Amino acid sequence: MIVDLLRFMTCGSVDDGKSTLIGRLLFETKKVYDDQLRALASDSKAFGTQGEKLDFALLVDGLQAEREQGITIDVAYRFFATDRRRLIVADTPGHEQYTRNMATAASTVDVAILLVDARKGILVQTRRHSRIARLMGIRSVVLAVNKMDLVEWSKERFETIVAEYRVFAESIGIDDVTAIPISALMGENIIAPAPDTVPWYQGPTLLGWLEHIPVRPRGTRQGFAMPVQWVSRPNADFRGFAGRISSGTVQVGDRVRVSPSGQESTIARLVGGNADLSEASQGQSVTLVLADEIDISRGDVIAAKQEPILHSSQFDADLIWMHEHHLLSGRPYLIQLHRKTAVAQITDIKYRVDINSGSHLAAKTLEMNEIGTVNLSIDRTVPFAPYQEDPGLGAFILIDRLTNETVGAGMIRHALRRDDNIHTQALTITKTERSALKMQTPRCLWFTGLSGSGKSTMANLLEQRLFAEGKHTYLLDGDNIRHGLNRDLGFTEADRVENIRRVAEVAKLMVDAGLIVLVSFISPFREDRAMARSHFDEGEFFEIFVDAPLAICEGRDTKGLYAKARRGDLKNFTGIDSPYEAPETPELHLHTDRLTPDETLHVLLASLR
């Protein structure tokens, strides 16, 4: 078990003195020496996992390189120690565009030092960082009012800032605030008190507070739980399940239950490193050997039988959006929830949070660094715990499926109750049998391209030919669908995403019915077409890029849409003021500017055959 170790972070606005403060701590304590650090890195009592030891050793090497080369490298984490405690500090950027860095650090620390420039007082970034810290489960905060020397150590100025912050902190649920007046540059109240400079302050120094603040568990869950990181089977006689214990304590002989399968067994062995253990606790990395041969996969959670882990596929969650491209409801993202990876969609943005007032504001999207509460739907049932009960089982990240960038970080509040009332109904007649009755192989033929490229023309000609051959078909055309099913949607990016999501669901049902469904939609975004493809089995989705230069498309503009867009009367029109992302690897690429419709149909039929 990790003992005598405190993880903390520094946060606040730009130029409030975070890096200066860390430099002062490192300089004054005079504990950052390679031999001591390396001893700490190998001390199993201080660091409970091999991963932490490795990270520590690498950072030791990084610090050594800095000193030898006389350069400063932007390393987020620093390690040092006092006679009372080992400390890990995360130095987070103050710029608004790096709020995601602060959120990442807040998810791993026990307490936060929030710096405020005594001259400037409480700023927007002060409030933003405080709200994120609160969301991430941090309850203890030091309000370090820095640069007090520049306001002549004014007691009145200090008390005004502290009073304002306490009101704000109480409103967001931070109930443990310690205010300390400091000068990071001069070293006042950092390591030692400064009674001559600040005779009116009788509280702790910053390091004194760090040395004595108790480390409280981040979650409230008491029962044992461990997400499985990997299945270890070095030989035929050993099959173990490795991971880091997220909460509670486990002993050999304990009865456990696996989520989501519900299977039960007994702990036969506990292995930590190269030795057997009789007991292991929160934070330790161990391998569990069960008495029974049961099916367990990466991302499943092993928990105490009397306190089993919940599982669901729909959640109410807090979300911090971290990407410059705004969040779009209905667009699929990859989700990583503890060790489980799946596909998720934001089905509803309930509200976004005003950073200054805390008000809940209506929103259809979230911009970078905005915080909101959303409904989240995952494509499979996953084990979880609410974040406030167990951060290890309730925190998740969202990843863009095309770029692999992390775009959001979230915390599960609770499962949506409606998920408990929705079950899959087994049907007797299957897609295979419906297809056999129609004597055809069902397909989704997805026509994409600019307005005027010839999508509807080619889809209509193809359906006529297939119908003449006795095939069972249906054509879903973008304009026609907007008269009915999607009549409530406009042409914003968010509405376009929802437009494609609904049509993909309908097309999936039609393929399940055994039909050949032709879909003719501009569908300008690759991610949304990838989402549509994911609804179908391998080989069922056929993407057809109907391609023609923009000038040709405008010349064919019988509806006058391009002319309206050029005049500014039609906003968000694809090709004019909204982008079209051409397919990179479509099943078929048709150049309708080079061939007649009949010639194009011949090429299309030849490819489909």
CATH of the domain at 534: 3.40.50.300
Residue written as token pair 């405008």: 554
Average pLDDT over residues 164-184: 92
What is the pairing mode between strands 301-304 and 225-227? antiparallel
In a domain, 465, yes or no: yes
Which of the four pLDDT bands, split at 50, 70 and 90, describes residue 355? confident
Tokens 């055994």 sit on residue: 514
> Encoding tokens for residue 191?
């390591």
Which comes out higher in pLDDT, residue 478 or 64? 478
Statement to judge: residues 71 and 171 lie in one domain: yes
Quick one: 53 and 124 in the same domain? yes
Name the β-bridge partners of 286.
243
Bridge pairing between strands 340-353 and 360-361: antiparallel
> Helical H runs in 521-583?
526-533, 550-555, 561-567
Percent of the chain with pLDDT over 70: 88
Residues 207 and 266 in one domain: no
Residue 217 maps to a domain: no
pLDDT of residue 423 exceeding 70, the answer is no
What is the average per-residue pLDDT within 161-166?
A: 96
* Cα 95 to Cα 57: distance, rounded to the nearest angstrom: 29
Looking at residue 282, its pLDDT comes to: 87
Kindly provide the residue ranges of all beta strands, DSSP E only, lying in 75-193, ordered along the sequence: 77-81, 86-91, 111-117, 140-146, 176-181
Q: Return the exposure string of 364-395: e unless at least 16 CB atoms fall within 10 Å of the residue's CB, then b.
A: bbbebbbbbbbbbbbeeebbbbbbbbbbbbbb
Q: What DSSP designation does 589 have?
A: E
DSSP letter at 586 equals: -
What does the pLDDT read at residue 36? 47
Among 418, 441, 467, the domain-final residue is 418
Integer Cα distance of 107 and 411 in angstroms: 10
Residue linked to tokens 């419709």: 597
Residue 219 lies in a domain: no
List, for residues 214-264, the tens digit of each pLDDT value: 877 777 889 999 999 988 877 777 889 999 999 999 999 999 999 988 899
Mean pLDDT of the chain: 84
Percent of the chain whose predicted confidence (pLDDT) is above 90: 46
Q: Are residues 93 and 204 in the same domain?
A: yes
Instruction: Find which of 74-78, 487-491, 594-598 is predicted with most confidence, using mean pLDDT.
Output: 594-598
Whether the bond into 234 is cis, omega within 30 of 0:
no
pTM of the model: 0.69
Burial class (CB in 10 A: 0-12, 13-18, 19+), 221: buried
Mean pLDDT of 582-599: 92
For residue 447, give both structure tokens: 């026509």
Residue 5: which pLDDT band, with cuts at 50, 70 and 90?
confident
Q: Are residues 191 and 233 in the same domain?
A: no
Question: Among the residues of 70-142, which ranges form H helices?
Answer: 99-106, 124-135
Q: What is the pLDDT of residues 440-463, one digit of tens each?
A: 999 999 999 999 999 999 999 999
Asked if pLDDT for residue 64 goes beyond 70, the answer is no
Q: Does 365 fall in a domain?
A: yes
Whether residues 262 and 342 fall in one domain: no
Any bridge partners for residue 443, and if so which? 516
Can you give the pLDDT at residue 54? 31
Q: Which residues contact 390 (CB under 8 A, 6 or more apart)?
A: 219, 221, 225, 246, 247
Measured in whole angstroms, the distance separating CA 135 from the mean position of its chain's CA atoms is: 14
Contacting residues for 50 by C-beta, under 8 A, at least 6 apart: 273, 285
Q: Based on the domain organization, do 67 and 190 belong to the same domain?
A: yes
Residues 477 and 537 in one domain: yes
| One-letter amino acid of 211 | E
Comparing 356 with 403, the larger pLDDT belongs to: 403
What does the DSSP assignment read for 498-523? HHHHHHHHHHHHHHHTT-EEEEE---
Domain total for the chain?
4
Where is pLDDT greater, at 536 or 426?
536
Res 144 pLDDT > 90:
yes
Contact status, residue 231 vs residue 297, Cβ threshold 8 Å: yes
Predicted confidence (pLDDT) per residue in 252-298, tens digit: 999 999 998 889 999 999 998 778 999 999 888 899 999 998 889 88
Q: Domain for residue 423, yes or no?
A: no
Question: Residue 517: pLDDT above 90?
Answer: yes
Least confident of 5-14, 53-62, 292-301, 366-375: 53-62
Helices (H), 173-317: 206-212
Q: What is the pLDDT of residues 147-162, one digit of tens each?
A: 999 999 999 999 999 9
* Residue matched to tokens 């606040």: 12
pLDDT band at 103 (very low <50, low <70, confident <90, very high): confident
Residue 128 and residue 106 in one domain: yes
Bridge partners (DSSP) listed for residue 277: 270
| pLDDT over 50 at 527, yes or no | yes
How far is Cα 15 from Cα 9, in angstroms, rounded to an integer? 16
pLDDT of 531 higher than 90: no
Band of residue 547 on the pLDDT scale cut at 50, 70, 90: very high
- Gyration radius of the chain's alpha carbons: 30
Q: Tell me, what DSSP letter sits at residue 327? A: P
pLDDT of residue 424: 59
Examine the pLDDT at 34 and tell me if it is beyond 70.
Answer: no
pLDDT confidence tier of residue 373, bands split at 50, 70 and 90: very high
Average pLDDT for 186-191: 90
Residue 218 within any structural domain of the chain: no
Examine the domain organization and report whether 441 and 576 are in the same domain: yes
Of residues 177, 166, 245, 255, the one with CA closest to residue 2? 245
With beta carbons less than 8 A apart as the criterion, state whether 40 and 53 touch: no
Q: Judge if 440 and 512 occupy the same domain.
A: yes
* CA distances for 153 relative to 18, 142, 159, 330, 464, angstroms: 19, 18, 11, 53, 85
Pick from 527, 314, 490: which is nearest to 401 by CA? Answer: 527
Pairing of strands 225-227, 588-591: unpaired
Say which residues have a Cβ less than 8 Å from residue 387's Cβ, sequence separation at least 6: 137, 219, 318, 394, 395, 411, 412, 413
Instruction: Write down which residue in 255, 284, 304 finishes a domain.
Output: 304
Residues written for the chain:
609
Residue 464 lies in a domain: yes
Residue 20: burial class (beta carbons within 10 Å; 0-12, 13-18, 19+): middle
d(CA 18, CA 129): 13
User: In terms of domains, do 547 and 599 share one?
Assistant: yes
| pLDDT attached to residue 47 | 36
pLDDT at 132 over 80: yes
Using 50, 70 and 90 to split pLDDT, how confident is the model at 422? low
pLDDT recorded at residue 96: 67
pLDDT of residue 255: 95
Q: Which of 20, 594, 607, 53 is nearest to 284 (CA)?
A: 53
Q: Residues 99-115: what's their mean pLDDT?
A: 81
pLDDT at 38 over 60: no
What's the rounded mean pLDDT across residues 318-327?
89
What's the pLDDT score for residue 110?
Answer: 87
Ranges 91-95, 456-460, 510-514: which has the least confidence: 91-95
- Residues that are catalytic: 523
pLDDT band at 522 (very low <50, low <70, confident <90, very high): very high
399 part of a folded domain: yes
Average the pLDDT over each of 305-309, 463-467, 491-495 and give the range with the smallest value: 491-495
Q: What is the per-residue pLDDT for 61?
A: 34
Stated as kind and residue range, the H or E segment containing 604 is helix 597-608
Q: Last residue of a domain, which of 269, 304, 339? A: 304
Q: Which domain range does residue 295 map to?
A: 225-304
